[in-house]
Structure 1
Amino acid sequence: MGEFIIKMPDVGEGVAEAELVEWHCEVGDPIREDMILAAVMTDKATVEIPSPVTGTVLWLGAEIGDTVAVKAPLVRIQVAGEGGELEAVPMAETVPIAPSSPQRGDGARRADEGASSPSIRQPAPSSGPARHLLPAGEKASRTVPDTLAKPLASPAVRLRAQDCGIDLRQVIGTGPAGRITHDDLDQFLARGAQPQPAPTGLAKKTAVEEIKVTGLRRRISEKMVLATSRIPHITYVEEIDVTDLEDLRATMNATRKPDQTKLTILPFLMRAMVKTIDEQPVVNATFDDDAGIISRHAAVHIGIATQTPAGLTVPVVRHTEARGIWDCAAEVVRLAEAARTGSALREELSGSTITITSLGAMGGIATTPIINHPEVAIVGVNKIMTRPVWDGSQFIPRKMMNLSSSFDHRVVDGWDAATFVQRIKALLETPALIFIES
């Protein structure tokens, strides 16, 4: 038997390191050639690392959330015949998506491995402070008290055990590395073991769940800190009567062609922003505050803040100035779906010049959007509500919506911010103006 060492691959574009966001294997797991071992995240994308060999995992070189340098040892695999070293070839990159298997905390993972495998999972020497690694092929043991060892089981098995009132520590796992399967639960129940009754009534809860901030969530955190620490925000909220716009939207949807996407309010807002930016180019800009350079863009690339299973991403509708209402609607739907399913390309997630953020029906009365650095403006859409409005002689029901927009006060003066929003207000309240070419 030999030992094969897989190193962190070069994920391209001059990237010297990447963050480990997911393991698809455990120490002791049998693996086959081309099986996905791990996933690492670069600036915008997740890259999957396959195994070039068939064997058994002896050692994993990093914890989830660690930053691993290119060519650092990542996995050691026991193989038949002679061993060796190889830099794995990464799979195609995708946008960050929710992991297919749960990411457990460091403490829980170490307890699992101590209870199920004689090898200690050691972090890679390239990530963080110096650490002691086991020599190749050397085994180490760890004793974990039964009361602390967390049984290995999938989320589905854990949920079923919880529903049945089964303590998984009483179940013998027959899967890889002692993992508990549904068959093990069936055998446990067949032997006559009595499920523990579920607790009833009020009870104190003392559990504390520690969640390591990794992957896309860490990227979002870093982006928010950067934006709020470096950009002096000014937020301007304006009320807009969208009654006529909603009537027009309903009419257009009722008469749309089968191949046309159903219209939301976003395409109208996007076109209104394009027309307003022609008059207020200062808001369609990016600011390199390190170099002290403001770049005003002729192209209007609108980022659409989109919630995904893994967190917030911002796919970009490029060249909105060259798109009509229906084209904008179709592109928003396409990009949102690509972001949610993890199929968006890198270029579809970068390069925006101004951003729209909307919580839809949950949009609230007003919000304080955070600017997508290095942009200088973001437009926030709040929910539409029917409210009584005084028309000079009586109260009448009107569909009202607030726009909550934030601006970089280093670049955009308050007067310019107000002028920008007021112009959008005029276009949305008289939607026919959106379709009139200048």
Structure 2
Amino acid sequence: MADLIEIKVPDVGGVASIDVVEVLIKPGDTVALEQIIATLETDKASMDLPASAGGTIQQVHIKPGDKVGEGSLVATVLVNSADTAQVAATLKPEQSTQSPTTPAPTIQEQPAPVKTPEPAKAAIASPASTPVIDHSISVTAHASPSVRLFARELGVDITKITAGNGRKGRILKDDVKSFVKRAISEGVTQSGAGIPSIPAVDFSQFGETETLKLSKIKRLTGQNLSRVWLNLPMVTYHEEADITEMEAFRVALNAEKTKDETKITGLMFIIKALVAAMKQFPSFNASLSADGENLILKKYINIGIAVDTPNGLVVPVLRNVDSKSINQLASELAEKSDKARLGKLMPADMQGGCLTISSLGGIGGTAFTPIVNAPEVAILGVTRAKMQPVWNGKEFIPRLMLPLDLTYDHRVIDGAEGARFMAHIKQNLSDIRRLLL
């Protein structure tokens, strides 16, 4: 004769919600008394749930991801009546050291070890012996409380770690460390990244103040730059290009123009030199996929130009610059710059850029570190050119030198490639005849 016995969740110290991490049985399986049939987890401990009866599983009432509590039905098992006397109707963890025949949940990894004759049947650690953990952290990840606390201290969302190297896929501290290393190398950070916020200060205590609301452009620009700064490992390479002949040619071109014609600026030649370099080094005309696994190469060349406006910095995009003349680019940039200063640029006018130029030449400076306009992988900074004495092997001669600053995403571009890219731009600007090749 056989009896149908219910296996239920035992007393786990008054915890109302327990996560089901793993279910090791299915209908039709034969289990032995005290055989592990599921893994449960609370915010205080992880535990193995043993079978309170041996026999054939008739029905399983839980699945991974479910939340259960004390007394929740786990499974029904068909047992022989002769074995029924061995079944404990109710499981209590504190009985694990008193009765060898009464199974109890098994703690696998606790922050504070508990000495018991049988570690496989150790009692659940009391809250006092467990680190205080933010209950807002998801407890579906298969990790012990100490590992959860370690992850939280590093600012890691432990639910992002899909698998661990511990027993039954349990997440270990080494898995958290590996995740952080991978996140740094790929530029992936958790929300907030564990970075403490700057505390608020009442400046009025030091003197008179005035509060001005940031423009929408500045707010959005600030958010984007902060996001890029946290996600991209950026490197800036500084160089100088001899533009003496280029500047003489530019002055000669403008001398031929009428008052109504758009004047040529040095920026037009920089755009052309940049286009030639991007064709030679296609990784600069690319974007990294969101998962960081692929590089998306672009077959078009659109250049963004950072424009200073009363409301903040905007970046209108010049499209298909490789197919336009210097005069066409000058007219288009003048038109879009005027629109930008009047606040009339449309969103489409600022989208689709492949690489951005940020020029401070009209203001001054000798060098700066521009921030990449993601999802682009590089940005070229330009400051004011000045006459410098340059040694030609025999004597110092005056040459007009243009400082250039190239910031790039180090995940896509390495140092040697960045230096070669800048050398190509420098060469084209020093002898603009090369742009005809």
- TM-score, L = length of structure 2: 0.51
Query: Which residue of 1 is the match for residue 14 of structure 2?
Result: none
* CA–CA distance in structure 2, aligned partners of residues 308 and 361 of structure 1: 14
The residue matched to 1:361 in structure 2 has which SS?
A: coil
The residue matched to 2:404 in structure 1 has which SS?
A: strand
Query: Which residue of 1 is the match for residue 265 of structure 2?
Result: 264
Q: Residues 356-393 of structure 1, C-alpha deviation per residue, up to 9 Å, x if partnerless? A: 00012324111111000110010011111111111222
Query: 1:420-435 maps to which residues of 2 (within 5 A)?
Result: 420-434=421-435
Counterpart check, 1:296 vs 2:297: yes
Query: 1:156-235 maps to which residues of 2 (within 5 A)?
Result: 206-235=207-236
Query: 1:9-28 maps to which residues of 2 (within 5 A)?
Result: none
CA-CA distance at 1:349 after TM superposition? 1.2
The answer as to whether partners of 2:215 and 2:311 remain within 8 angstroms in 1 is no
Q: Residues 141-179 of structure 1, C-alpha deviation per residue, up to 9 Å, x if partnerless? A: xxxxxxxxxxxxxxxxxxxxxxxxxxxxxxxxxxxxxxx
Query: Which residue of 1 is the match for residue 392 of structure 2?
Result: 391
* CA–CA distance in structure 1, aligned partners of residues 248 and 304 of structure 2: 26
- One-letter amino acid of the structure 2 residue matched with residue 327 of structure 1: Q
Q: Residues 286-338 of structure 1, C-alpha deviation per residue, up to 9 Å, x if partnerless? A: 22334643221111110000011100000000111111111111111111111
Query: Which residue of 2 is the match for residue 310 of structure 1?
Result: 311
* CA–CA distance in structure 2, aligned partners of residues 324 and 258 of structure 1: 20
* CA–CA distance in structure 1, aligned partners of residues 287 and 280 of structure 2: 17
CA-CA distance at 1:230 after TM superposition? 0.6
Query: Which residue of 1 is the match for residue 383 of structure 2?
Result: 382
Q: Which has the higher contact order (CA 8 A, sep 6+)?
A: 1
* CA–CA distance in structure 1, aligned partners of residues 303 and 426 of structure 2: 18
* CA–CA distance in structure 1, aligned partners of residues 224 and 364 of structure 2: 22
The answer as to whether partners of 2:302 and 2:320 remain within 8 angstroms in 1 is yes
Runs of 4+ aligned structure 1 residues displaced above 6 Å come to none
- One-letter amino acid of the structure 1 residue matched with residue 223 of structure 2: E
The answer as to whether partners of 1:260 and 1:326 remain within 8 angstroms in 2 is no
* CA–CA distance in structure 2, aligned partners of residues 351 and 379 of structure 1: 17
Query: Which residue of 1 is the match for residue 403 of structure 2?
Result: 402
* CA–CA distance in structure 1, aligned partners of residues 366 and 332 of structure 2: 27
Q: Residues 58-103 of structure 1, C-alpha deviation per residue, up to 9 Å, x if partnerless? A: xxxxxxxxxxxxxxxxxxxxxxxxxxxxxxxxxxxxxxxxxxxxxx
* CA–CA distance in structure 1, aligned partners of residues 335 and 297 of structure 2: 27
- One-letter amino acid of the structure 2 residue matched with residue 228 of structure 1: W
The residue matched to 1:386 in structure 2 has which SS?
A: strand
CA-CA distance at 1:259 after TM superposition? 5.4
- One-letter amino acid of the structure 1 residue matched with residue 347 of structure 2: R
Query: Which residue of 2 is the match for residue 354 of structure 1?
Result: 355
For residues 326 and 338 of structure 1, do their structure 2 counterparts lie closer, same or farther at Cα, with a shift above 3 Å needed? same
Counterpart check, 1:337 vs 2:330: no
CA-CA distance at 1:258 after TM superposition? 5.7
Query: Which residue of 1 is the match for residue 22 of structure 2?
Result: none
- One-letter amino acid of the structure 1 residue matched with residue 281 of structure 2: Q
The residue matched to 1:218 in structure 2 has which SS?
A: helix
* CA–CA distance in structure 2, aligned partners of residues 260 and 272 of structure 1: 23
Q: How many residues align?
A: 233
* CA–CA distance in structure 1, aligned partners of residues 356 and 209 of structure 2: 37
- One-letter amino acid of the structure 1 residue matched with residue 410 of structure 2: H
* CA–CA distance in structure 1, aligned partners of residues 207 and 350 of structure 2: 41
The residue matched to 2:299 in structure 1 has which SS?
A: coil
* CA–CA distance in structure 1, aligned partners of residues 408 and 321 of structure 2: 20
- One-letter amino acid of the structure 2 residue matched with residue 310 of structure 1: N
- One-letter amino acid of the structure 2 residue matched with residue 348 of structure 1: D
Percent of aligned pairs with the same residue?
37
Q: Residues 217-262 of structure 1, C-alpha deviation per residue, up to 9 Å, x if partnerless? A: 1101101101111111111111111111100100111113565410
- One-letter amino acid of the structure 2 residue matched with residue 283 of structure 1: F
- One-letter amino acid of the structure 2 residue matched with residue 299 of structure 1: Y
Query: Which residue of 1 is the match for residue 117 of structure 2?
Result: none
Query: Which residue of 1 is the match for residue 255 of structure 2?
Result: 254
The residue matched to 1:403 in structure 2 has which SS?
A: strand
* CA–CA distance in structure 1, aligned partners of residues 315 and 362 of structure 2: 19
The answer as to whether partners of 1:363 and 1:381 remain within 8 angstroms in 2 is no
Q: Residues 98-136 of structure 1, C-alpha deviation per residue, up to 9 Å, x if partnerless? A: xxxxxxxxxxxxxxxxxxxxxxxxxxxxxxxxxxxxxxx
CA-CA distance at 1:404 after TM superposition? 0.5
Query: 1:70-219 maps to which residues of 2 (within 5 A)?
Result: 206-219=207-220
Q: Which has the larger radius of gyration?
A: 2
* CA–CA distance in structure 2, aligned partners of residues 371 and 265 of structure 1: 22
* CA–CA distance in structure 1, aligned partners of residues 344 and 221 of structure 2: 19
